[in-house]
Structure 1
Amino acid sequence: MAIRLLVSDVDGTLVDKDKNLTPATIDAVARVRAAGIGFSIISARPMSGLRPLLDTLALDGDVAAFNGGIVFRRDGTIVRHVTIPADAAREAMMLARESEVATWVFTGDRWYADDPDGPHTASERRASAQEPEVTDDPDALLDRADKITFVSDDADALHALYARIHTAIGDRATVAQSQTYYLDVTAKQANKGDGIAALADAVGVSLSDTAAIGDQANDLPMLKRAGLSIAMGNAPDAVKAAAAEVTRANTQDGVAHAIDTLILPRRQ
């Protein structure tokens, strides 16, 4: 199998635990591109959280934010933009009110939170490269929401909420966990399976010649569609089981290791 495009998740995959690109990863991405293999990223992050990575890696082609909800380029061009249907967004919010979760709404390139000091806001500040705007009326944002994130460190409660929301709106929206403590609702087309297909199509590469690498449940759709699927060493067992290969953890430059041992040996 000749790999012509590598698509990477970001958090828990491309960056380390402090949300930084390591020198080894930067060098490996440069090597894979120098070998004639395309490189792109797809993430649950908003555009603001991807721009610093695009600058560091000098990526000018199509990349995807919000799990594929927005496909854009470093120069600001928006290639595709889909939002959550308003009725599905409102139903998800209504169901979440029955649970003890923090609520974030992303619209356009802004992050709105019901509590600016709530759980994991410090991490999201780094990931999104912005401060949250406080709102006590998130429902007012739901006609144009790119992503709703419910946040909780109670894994069982969040999984139960996932089941309720997915049952209610799964035919109209994508419901997936991007971290063990994040439950994301995005547009139906905003999933990494459709996202990787769009990124591959943009550069004229078939999915069979595409590799995907990720670490969480929201990465499963792209791992299933890519010709070569790679799970991070820090991924849950279910994600590892769904992948053809497993690389090192993101704390051990797993993407760089995958590039050197799994991608470059398969260059055309």
Structure 2
Amino acid sequence: MQIKLLATDLDGTLLSSGKPVSEKNIAAAQAAAKAGTIVTIATGRMYRAALPVAEALGLDVPIITYNGALIKSTSGKIYYQKFMDEEICRQVTDFCAQRGWYLQTYSGEELYYSDYNEFSRRYEHSQKVSGESIGYEKLREHVSDMYKMLIITDSPDVTQDWMAELKAEFGESITLTQSAPDFIEIISPGVSKASALAKLADIMGFDMQETMAIGDANNDLPLLKAAGFSVAMGNAADNIKAVTDAVTGNCVDDGWAQAVYKYILNK
């Protein structure tokens, strides 16, 4: 079956750490588009952090951002958006404040920090965005149009402990996911890259069997499981590779382009 919609993760998949999209990946994306496949990004990043990457591909396409909470094209058309409950956002903020956990939030297209520190600096450098440090009290006031909240920890072990605390406190009122070992990403119930891909396929009139997904991290798992055909990056963990239909090369070796040529263009 022809692949009509390709959804790709960014970091560790289409992008090597801190680097722009490679020329080989750009060429592969444009070749896929020329062959009739819509190439979309599916990322945990905020829209304004994902937009330059989409623009680098030279394609005006809908992009899935905030782990599925917003689908918006490079030209600005909104296909779908799902905001978090405002009271839940305040409760999560208080929960973090009581424990001194670093928290950053995404209200509208604005990025806010509980405090500005090494986590913030590293995040800004990797995402090529800037935010504002406003403290926990002001974070409680900026809860409208909230796409996502993000806690950053010191280590993967701490991450798992804190996620357990959040699950015990908030249960099904939030969804937790990870795009990195030290990230705890909080979004609305039912929101995921997978649900966003299904919505986008429906909008465009495609069957899910006509979709393909490429990824490398735990927050890509629902997307990879939902797509008609799935590919794990060579640098992905074994649990990611175990659920996909195929495994391609490493990100640093343009494994993304390899997958496009092999599974979409049949070359």
Q: TM-score, normalised by structure 1?
A: 0.91
Percent pairwise identity: 28
Question: Shift in Å at residue 120 of structure 1?
Answer: 5.7
Question: Shift in Å at residue 183 of structure 1?
Answer: 0.8
The equivalent of 1:86 in structure 2 is 86
The equivalent of 1:109 in structure 2 is 109
* Larger mean Cα displacement after TM superposition, 135-144 or 92-101: 92-101
Question: Shift in Å at residue 99 of structure 1?
Answer: 5.2
Alignment length, in residue pairs?
265
For structure 1, list consecutive stretches of 5 or more residues without a partner in the other structure.
none
Distance, in Å, in 2 between the alignment partners of 1:188 and 1:257 is 35
SS at structure 2 position matched to 1:178: coil
1:21-170 equivalence runs, <5 A: 21-97=21-97, 101-119=101-119, 121-127=121-127, 129-136=128-135, 137=137, 138-170=139-171
SS at structure 2 position matched to 1:171: helix
Distance, in Å, in 2 between the alignment partners of 1:241 and 1:94 is 38
Q: Output the amino acid matched with 2:129.
A: Q
Q: Is residue 13 from structure 1 mapped to residue 13 from structure 2 by the alignment? A: yes
Distance, in Å, in 1 between the alignment partners of 2:258 and 2:98 is 43
Distance, in Å, in 2 between the alignment partners of 1:99 and 1:154 is 16
CA RMSD in angstroms comes to 2.0
SS at structure 1 position matched to 2:83: coil
Question: Shift in Å at residue 170 of structure 1?
Answer: 4.3
What does the per-residue CA deviation read over 1:207-240, in whole Å, with 9 as the maximum and x for residues that have no partner? Answer: 1111011111111111111111111122222112
Which structure exhibits the higher relative contact order, with contacts defined as CA atoms closer than 8 Å and separated by 6 or more residues? 1
SS at structure 1 position matched to 2:118: coil
Q: Output the amino acid matched with 1:183.
A: I
SS at structure 2 position matched to 1:205: coil
Question: Shift in Å at residue 261 of structure 1?
Answer: 1.9
Question: Shift in Å at residue 42 of structure 1?
Answer: 1.1
Please tell me whether the aligned partners of residues 96 and 161 of structure 1 are also in contact (alpha carbons under 8 angstroms): no
Judged with a 3 Å threshold, the aligned counterparts in structure 2 of structure 1 residues 214 and 98 are, in CA distance, closer, same or farther, namely farther
Please tell me whether the aligned partners of residues 102 and 118 of structure 1 are also in contact (alpha carbons under 8 angstroms): no
Question: Shift in Å at residue 203 of structure 1?
Answer: 2.2
Distance, in Å, in 2 between the alignment partners of 1:90 and 1:19 is 35
Judged with a 3 Å threshold, the aligned counterparts in structure 2 of structure 1 residues 256 and 164 are, in CA distance, closer, same or farther, namely same
What does the per-residue CA deviation read over 1:47-71, in whole Å, with 9 as the maximum and x for residues that have no partner? Answer: 1112112221122232111011111
Q: Output the amino acid matched with 2:6.
A: L
Please tell me whether the aligned partners of residues 173 and 187 of structure 1 are also in contact (alpha carbons under 8 angstroms): yes
Distance, in Å, in 1 between the alignment partners of 2:93 and 2:8 is 30
* Larger mean Cα displacement after TM superposition, 133-142 or 8-17: 133-142
